[in-house]
Structures are given as structure tokens and as C-alpha cells.
Amino acid sequence: MPKLTHIALHVKDVDACVFFYQNYAGLKLVRDRHVNGKHIIWLAEPDKESQFIFAILPGGPGHQQSQSDFSHFGFALSSKEDVDKLANKAKEDGILLWPTKQEPFPVGYYCGVLDPDGNRIEFSFGQPLG
């Protein structure tokens, strides 16, 4: 049976994306590699480096997404208060996409944030995952 091990994103600004995912999603640096002149970063949740990696690679065109496209990455938080804090931080930073909202199970309480490359990130509490 296959196991999902990583997602790799080509981004315009590797450093800005690494900073975002470390500060907003709490991911930690696992590998910092230079391969054939390219800077490749592996990030992971603390203590889950052997389970799932978020790879950030250079050379992306920037992510453009239509308003009707709800593709996103999802991160679970520990409480509604944590979602509120993160949404307030994102609003101050000018990257809040969706204000906090409560939806019926299984969606829960969430907000949306844009990463530096234009990817949509959902931060939620109360979903059955995470």
C-alpha cells in the first residue's frame, strides 16, 4: 500500500516561504540542501520528520488561483483561540484570505491565509483530522 510521504512546491522566493511555514505552521527545518545550484529545503512538523515532508524548491512562477478554486493546504490547531490568534496575526501581516468562520462538522472553525507564493492555507480547529 503506498504511503504519502511529501509534497514539493516550486516557489518564487524560497526564503520567504520557509519563514512563513516556520512561523505560521510551526514547521521545522529538516534538510537544507544545495543540489546543482538549487537551494532545496525540507520542512516537517516537529518529531514527524520520518512521516511527512514539505519540500520547498526554487524556480516557481508564483501560484495563481481563481476565486472559485478552493484548493488549499490544511493545518490543524489546538483550539479556536489559536485559530483566532493566527487569523489576527495574518490580518496584521496583510495575508488573511478568509476570516474565521464556524462550519458544521466535519469542517469546524477555520480561517484562510495566503503564503508568500500565493498558496491558500487553512488553519482549523475541530476537524476529525489532526
Indicate the CATH number of 6-58 among 3.40.50.620, 1.10.10.10, 3.10.180.10, 3.30.470.30.
3.10.180.10
At residue 117, the pLDDT reads 97
At residue 130, the pLDDT reads 67
At residue 3, the pLDDT reads 93
> Which class is 73-125 in CATH?
alpha beta
pTM of the predicted model, to two decimals?
Answer: 0.93
- Low-confidence stretches of the chain (pLDDT < 70) are 130
Q: Where in the chain is the domain with CATH 3.10.180.10?
A: 6-58, 73-125
Calpha distance 90→113 (Å, rounded): 7
CB crowding 28-46: b at 16 or more within 10 Å, else e: eebeeeeeeeeebbbbbbe
